[in-house]
Structure 1
Amino acid sequence: TGYSGYVDKTHFIKPVVKYTWMPSKLYTSAIGNSYNKTIKDGQKVSVFNGSHGRYQVKAGNSSGYIYANNLTGLLAKKTVYASSKLYTSAS
């Protein structure tokens, strides 16, 4: 902005760690279709603000916006075996 100075540390937003659960485009803004690259599934990202259904994130050395529904709080990989039975109730 052309200005320099100090800001109280309480004004900074602490990022939250999330993971992509599918390959996700890293958009250049909260709106529009322009993107820098695609991030692979399972990628760890630092999430900051949300706007227009997208979150501002930092993934490695890149930053941009990812659709909110492409992120999850935990990275959980589960395997279902071909021979598993599908029961009608939990008990």
Structure 2
Amino acid sequence: MESRFEGSVIEYIGYSILASLVTIFTFGLAFPWVEVMFQSWVCRNTIIDGRRLRFDGTGSQLFGNYIKWLLLTFITFGIYGFWLFNKMTHWRVKHTHFVD
């Protein structure tokens, strides 16, 4: 079984800078679309046992949950943040599939 990641450091730096700028200039409201952009890049460049991954999530799908999770984190003084990581991971995995 051969698995590999084909993304480059230069691409990663470019996506990171773009993601940071978009998130900052939209005061975090565009984060769902930034997350989708980044996760799509990761999946496009990941091969597991000779099979490429694809990501089919959209920023629109994530936006409602993102706002809800942010509010819950704020209302609970950050305590919900522990669940936030788990919720985001669940959402990413739910939308990650093999290409074929």
Question: TM-score, length-normalised on structure 1?
Answer: 0.24
- Give the greater-gyration-radius structure (CA): 1
Structure 1 or 2: more helix by fraction: 2
TM-score relative to the length of structure 2? 0.22
